[in-house]
Structures are given as C-alpha cells and as structure tokens.
A = this chain, B = another copy of it.
Amino acid sequence: MTETNNIDQEDSPTPLQQIIYLLRKYKLVEGLVNLQENTDDPSLNESAVQQQNLTELQVFLDQLHPADIAHILEALPLEDRLLIWSLIKTDRDGEVLLETSDAVRATLITDMGNHELVAATEYLDADEIADLAPDLPQEVMDNVFSSLPIEEREQLRAAMSYPEDSVGALMDFDVITIREDVRLEVVLRYLRRLEELPDHTDQLFIVDRDEQLKGVLLINRLLVSDPDTLVAEVMTKEMIKLRPNAIAQQAANAFERYDLVSASVVDDNNKLLGRVTVNAVIDYIRETAENEALNLAGLSEEEDLFAPVLKSVKNRWGWLAINLVTAFIASRVIGLFEDSIEKLVALAALMPIIAGIGGNSGNQTITMIVRALALDQIDTSSAWKLITKEVGVSIVNGLLWGTVVGLFTFAIYQNAELGLVMTLAMTLNLLLAALLGVIIPLTLRKFGRDPALGSSVMITAVTDSGGFFIFLGLATFFLL
C-alpha cells in the first residue's frame, strides 16, 4: 500500500498488469541469453540486464501487500507463478500463503522445502498457523510445534481442535484484557506501554481473576470519557459472546446484523478464549458464497485456473456422474413410451420443452426456500402458507406458459389436441416442481442435511423424468 495506492485510477495499470509486463521483459532477455550461449558472442552482457530485470521485479513485489501478491500468483500460469514465488522474501511467505486459495496454496507449498515452510510460519500467529496446518506436511507441523513457546503451542493446539466451519476456526488470540476496578487513566497508560495494538481492536475485554469475561470497554467510550472514571462505570455489559463450537455462520449473522468489528469468544464457563474480528468474517462470507456458487455449478471445490487437466477432471467428476445417473433414468422414462413416439414423432420434439421449463420453475422455488431456511425464517406454521403460495404461482404460470406452448404446438403441428395436452402437461409439471421445490429442502433440513446441497440436482431430476412421464403419459392416453 503506497500513498498512490488509489484504487480508483482505472487507467493506471494494476499490480497484475505491471507484473506481467516485468515478467515479459525478464523472459525476453532470458531468451536472448539462451541464444547468446549458443552463439558465444559476448558483445552484450545480457545476464547483467537479466539480473537488473529480476531486481526490478523484486523491488516491485516488495512494496505490494501480501493479499495483492496472492492475487497475482493466482492469476499466473504455474511456471510464472513459481518464478514470482521464489522472489518473495521469506518473512512474507506465510502471509501470502494465508491469502491464496487452497488450490493455489497447494502448488506453492509443493514447491517449498520443509525448512522453508517452517521458516515461513515463524512470522505468523498461532491462529494463522492453524489455518495453514491442513496443507502442511506432518513433519513441518512437528517442527513448528517444537519451535513455539509454550503459550503459543497451547493456542495452536486449541485453534487446530475446532472444526473448519466453527466459530473457533475464525477465532484469534489477540485480546487485550483489563480489570474493572482501575481508572481509565491507568488503562491509557497501560496501552501506551504496548508498542502497538492488535488490528481491529475496537474494545478491550474486562476479565476477573479467573479470566471470566465481565464486560467490554469500547475504545470509542474510552476516548470520550474522563480519565478519572473507573472502568466499571463505563464498561458495557451487553455484548455478543460467541462459543467456539458454534457454527461459523452464526458469527457471520451476528456481525452482519449488529455491525460488529470484533466479538468475544467464551467457553461454557464464561472464560474468555479469544475473539473473532470482522476481517475473518468477511473472508468467511466470501468463501461461503463462493463455495455455494461452485457447488451449484457442479464443481467440488475452488479450482486453480491453471490446474493440470486431470486434476480439473477430478474436481468436476462427482456432479457429472450424478447428473448422468439422473439422465439415464429420464432416458428410461422416455424409453417406456417409445411406441407412442413412433406413432406420433412430434412428441419427441416437444417433450424437452415441458421438462426444461419445469426444471427452471422448480429451481426458482427451491432457491427462495433454501435462502429463507438459511436465514431461519421458516417454521412449520409458515410451511403450509408457502406451499399454498407456490402452488398458486405454479398454476398461474402453468396456465399462462402452458397456453403459449399449446399455441406454439398448434401453429407447428396443426393439431389442437396435441396443443391441449401440452398445456395440461406444462401445468402439471409446474405443479410438481412447486410442490417438490418446497418439500425437498424442508425434508433435507428435517433430516439434518444442508438444503443448499443437492436440492437443485434433485428438483431437476424430478422435473425431467416427471415431465417426460406426465407429457408422454397424457399423450398416450388422450391421443393414441
């Protein structure tokens, strides 16, 4: 972050563009050097130019924020990525690793020796090391553990014990604690003795001798109060206390609703364990939204843009296999009606319309319900109201769009009965989509499953097979 780091200057090159420019310059000369080695012409000392280009790259990298470096590494193909990575100073390696996506982090860690990895963790806090731990070799973690002072070792052990999506995984240990029976002047003097305060310190935590959390002193309160006041007089007793084993989403909801910068984490005995800060929450919100989008699209996890082909194939494997199974089932449903299709081949051309619109409509319903479930806005009493509403919407949509497809069918095939069957099939399939669009996520939820996962695949499977069955069944019954 330099003074000129004004992110609004759209016409000036981004750090990524500058790196790409410097990389090209470097590689161009490298090409010349290689050429020169073959021709043995020492007229130009290319390798000095080369060295200068490398230095230029390094100087530029040194002034970038770790998050910007991570962003650049993610955007570069593997070869360039590792070249840039080798230019990052060891004392910043850890911070950069923290900021990269899991997939890209793996490519960087693979490139490092165990010794380098241990060195990289030296500049990190215990909670940060815990974030990297799943990606580090066991040997490295053993070394890290034994090199830590006892207090940090205990913190690291605690941080690593919380599951990934828990409040504990978002927690850090950078809390400043004070006693309630001192004057604010004493607090101010105490703070001045610290060289700096932890980032996102918007409150000091007030604990008693047993480390029980009694309240918080907001920094904003500290600043506007008379220094002669006692902490107890201006402390806030109303506060958010998080539990380390609660799901992280609860912390995210609290931060979003109550506009927090930090919040305390306490154990069952009200003992202060640490705090969660808003930057950890933002990262969590982003990642969750990201994963949801990836899952919807059928990607198991975030993918390195430049991952090797086989690795990508594996990442996309699971959902394609599931979809293939549902496609096979739909295919067999159609197979049941091959005689009908043989007699009236127009059915084959028309059936995807019924299935497709049913799938779209079902996904609209499911998205709404899943969202409301995530926000805890549906209980049993409202479930019936929702089903009634969705059924109403599907009947209106069914008759409306059903009439459109009916007219389309009549226009093309000059067959009024076929048009009516289309209208009826469309209405019934949208009705099916509406009912299951409410029932599927509610049922998943009831059995303790995440309704966001798989709902969409299931509703599409139902509206495909169901749509084919309804349409071909009606056609066979009424037309043949």
Residues on B with C-beta less than 8 A from A349 are: 331-332, 334-335, 338
A453 is an interface residue with CB less than 8 A from chain B: no
A316 is an interface residue with CB less than 8 A from chain B: yes
Give bound CA distance, A246 to B368, whole Å: 31
- B238:A375 contact, CB within 8 angstroms: no
- A299:B367 contact, CB within 8 angstroms: yes
A385 is an interface residue with CB less than 8 A from chain B: yes
Given contacts A16-B377, A283-B256, A331-B349, contact A356 B296 (CB under 8 A): no
Residue of B nearest to A322 (CB): B360
A469 is an interface residue with CB less than 8 A from chain B: no
Residues on B with C-beta less than 8 A from A332 are: 349, 412
- B363:A297 contact, CB within 8 angstroms: yes
- B376:A290 contact, CB within 8 angstroms: no
Residue of B nearest to A295 (CB): B367
Give bound CA distance, A378 to B292, whole Å: 22
- B356:A327 contact, CB within 8 angstroms: yes
Residue of B nearest to A367 (CB): B297
A401 is an interface residue with CB less than 8 A from chain B: yes
- A353:B324 contact, CB within 8 angstroms: yes
- A352:B297 contact, CB within 8 angstroms: no
A243 is an interface residue with CB less than 8 A from chain B: yes
- A71:B328 contact, CB within 8 angstroms: no
What's the least CB distance linking A347 to chain B, in Å?
A: 8
What's the least CB distance linking A294 to chain B, in Å?
A: 6
Q: Which of A141-149, A156-164, A218-226 contacts its partner?
A: A218-226
Q: Which of A118-126, A132-140, A197-205 contacts its partner?
A: A197-205
- Pick from A6, A7, A464 the residue with the most CB of B within 10 Å: A7
Given contacts A296-B296, A349-B335, contact A401 B7 (CB under 8 A): no
A150 is an interface residue with CB less than 8 A from chain B: no
Residue of B nearest to A355 (CB): B352
**Pairs across A and B, CB under 8 Å, 8 listed:** A1-B258, A65-B257, A200-B202, A256-B283, A256-B286, A282-B282, A324-B357, A327-B357
Given contacts A305-B368, A306-B385, A335-B346, 10 further A-B contacts (CB under 8 A): A1-B238, A7-B246, A8-B167, A8-B241, A16-B376, A65-B258, A76-B382, A290-B371, A324-B404, A341-B348
